[in-house]
Structure 1
Amino acid sequence: MGWEGFGARVWAARRSLSLSLDYLAAQVYVTTGMLQEVESGALDPGRRVTQDLDRELRLAGQLWDAWAAAHLATLLQGGATVTDALPEVLQVRAYAPLVLPDPYLTDAYATALHRAERPMACASLDEDRPHVGRLLPTSGSAPYHCLVIDEGALTRTLAGPDATRAQLLHLHRLAQSDRITVHVIPTGTPYHPGLRGAFWTLNYSPAHTLVYTPQPCGPGHLTSEATHVKTYADLFATLQGVALSAEDSLHRITEIAARVPTPERRALHS
């Protein structure tokens, strides 16, 4: 179903409840003109407005799912990258076996990671990598995030002690947010099925999810193919099951940060 079909559903539901355009627009905090564009199929209303419409029109999630289907079809038909896909996401689940994903990085650590990757990266392809915004502990309007990460990604030396400690403390602060959960898979955990590479699942509604697989160069790959989505969702659940709890993961991050040499320790050692 495209945007014309979506708009027709909004129009039919509004008429069935005998609601005026002006009244419904006021209830969902948009202009009457914008709601007219939605009903005509000329505009993607976005997830927030759609959820409000779904509630006001008493559609029990049906309109939300219809929006997600149309939104994902538009993204994939347009050759979208993960940067294009993220703004309307409800929940991001990310698994990272080697390095922290971009949203969790400090500027200093991101610079060190970029420097480490540069020898194996083609400059022209590096320019094609997605630019993903950084998370902040106070990002109240951000989607929900759940990160599962191997402990080796936190202990691997990529930056100096100060930048490394700052990165770990930043991750710790993020993990205390109501919208961000971090699970650490401890070093020494037996073989698990996530060792072949990183992936994200991007959830737009209860029934519609994209999978993103990042790559060292280029934009990575997005897919909504149902079998792949289910496989990655099951894989994430398995990885979360072998990881530490969110509370124990916070303690582990603190322990790792405490082992990073401080300036005083370096001075005493020398």
Structure 2
Amino acid sequence: MTARDRRFRHITQDQDDLGLAEGLRAMPQQTNPTIRQRRLAAELERLREAAGLTREEIAERLDWHATKVWRVESGRSGISTGDLRDLLDIYQVNGPRRDALIALARHVRQKGWWTEYRDVLTGSYLDLEAQASMMRTYEPQLIPGLLQTEAYARAVVRAALVMDPKEVRRRTEARMARQQLLADDRDGPRLWVVLEEVAVQRPVGEGDTMREQLQRLIDMSEHPRVTIQVIRTSAGAHPGLSGPFVLLDFPAPEFFAPIVYLETAASGLYLEETEEVLRYTLMFDHLRAIALGPAESVKFIQSIQSGLGSRE
């Protein structure tokens, strides 16, 4: 693996919203290529090197400016579908991989829903989440954003010391818009969530906020693409104590390798090295093994909810 491959695999840190993986700020492609553009660029460089060709040779064959190949491979410039087809002809790429690269090039030019909230969202997580076929999430402290009620989300945003009412509203709206990923029962990514007991016990918000949030978990447990498990505190020490993480899998794993997203209060780090992904995959498998089963988890959440009562 080249040094440049490693640089792409260890994607730069992105600022997030209280570690809840909230979005992508639209920036000029020349200075801040999206994750999709960087992946396409890295794959095109890999294909050229595998073909044993230099950038100068590619530029000469296609009658391009000498710097064009470099700009495409560095992610500083996009590439048209026609130019991409010409490159893939040279690299003799056909079949599913060719189709996937062409589809990726088209997606690079598309704006995600989150760009409407660029005034309050930063980072690149949603660009990946939108492409994922499965997300495996471990969360020790809070209910994940995809499963939050509006009242719970608002309370979490305020807890992050966001004082401006307009910003609180915009961040809450963005989190609710993000949940469209799960709006369709049949189409979209699978979500497997492992929560610590403290995440469902911790009182967040006022009035019936927590009761309604627990009902949201109970309801979402019946979603065909959602699995929820709870780790009881009595399970003791385990590998997840190092912090929350998300494992993202993609529809074409031979082309898009899984990614691990690590979140903190102020930033997020993406990992793609095979050894790192395997480590977190084994960690998640261990966590779901020591957690209550899905049915038992729902019963446990229901018992907590019953203890809260109604504050009407």
Matches within 5 A, 1:1-270: 1-2=43-44, 39-40=85-86, 63=97, 81-118=124-161, 133-134=178-179, 136=182, 138-204=184-250, 205-207=252-254, 208-218=257-267, 220-263=268-311
Write the distance in 2 (CA, Å) between the matches of 1:194 and 1:167: 23
* 1:240 Cα offset (Å): 0.6
Q: Deviations over 1:66-96 (max 9, x none)?
A: 75xx89xx9xxxx971111111111000000
For this pair of structures, how many residues does the alignment match? 205
Write the distance in 2 (CA, Å) between the matches of 1:260 and 1:136: 27
Contact 1:182 1:249 in 2 (8 A): yes
Q: What amino acid sits opposite 2:265 in the alignment?
A: P
Q: Cα RMSD over matched residues?
A: 3.6
* 1:4 Cα offset (Å): 10
Write the distance in 1 (CA, Å) between the matches of 2:294 and 2:132: 22
Q: How many percent identity over aligned positions? A: 26
Q: What amino acid sits opposite 1:2 in the alignment?
A: L
Contact 1:65 1:206 in 2 (8 A): no
* 1:170 Cα offset (Å): 0.8
Contact 2:185 2:224 in 1 (8 A): no
Higher RCO (CA 8 Å, separation ≥ 6 residues): 2
* 1:186 Cα offset (Å): 1.2
* 1:260 Cα offset (Å): 1.2
Match of 1:17 in 2: none
* 1:255 Cα offset (Å): 1.2
Write the distance in 1 (CA, Å) between the matches of 2:86 and 2:130: 23
* 1:187 Cα offset (Å): 2.4
In 2 relative to 1, CA 99–225 (structure 1 residues): closer, same or farther, beyond 3 Å?
same
In 2 relative to 1, CA 65–255 (structure 1 residues): closer, same or farther, beyond 3 Å?
farther
The secondary structure found in structure 2 opposite 1:118 is coil
Write the distance in 1 (CA, Å) between the matches of 2:243 and 2:209: 25
Q: Deviations over 1:217-258 (max 9, x none)?
A: 24x111211111111111000101100111111111111111
* 1:160 Cα offset (Å): 2.0
The secondary structure found in structure 1 opposite 2:138 is strand
Write the distance in 2 (CA, Å) between the matches of 1:65 and 1:231: 31
Q: Deviations over 1:2-29 (max 9, x none)?
A: 29959xxxxxxxxxxxxxxxxxxxxxxx
Contact 1:102 1:110 in 2 (8 A): yes
The secondary structure found in structure 2 opposite 1:216 is coil
Contact 2:193 2:229 in 1 (8 A): yes
Write the distance in 1 (CA, Å) between the matches of 2:144 and 2:287: 16
Structure 2 unmatched runs, 5+: 1-42, 49-79, 89-93, 109-121, 163-169
Write the distance in 2 (CA, Å) between the matches of 1:41 and 1:166: 54
TM-score (norm 2): 0.57
Q: What amino acid sits opposite 1:101 in the alignment?
A: P
* 1:112 Cα offset (Å): 0.7
Contact 1:95 1:148 in 2 (8 A): yes
Contact 2:149 2:216 in 1 (8 A): yes
The secondary structure found in structure 2 opposite 1:201 is strand
Write the distance in 2 (CA, Å) between the matches of 1:241 and 1:112: 31
TM-score (norm 1): 0.65
Q: Deviations over 1:93-118 (max 9, x none)?
A: 00001111211111110111122222
Structure 1 unmatched runs, 5+: 7-33, 43-53, 120-126, 265-270
* 1:142 Cα offset (Å): 2.1
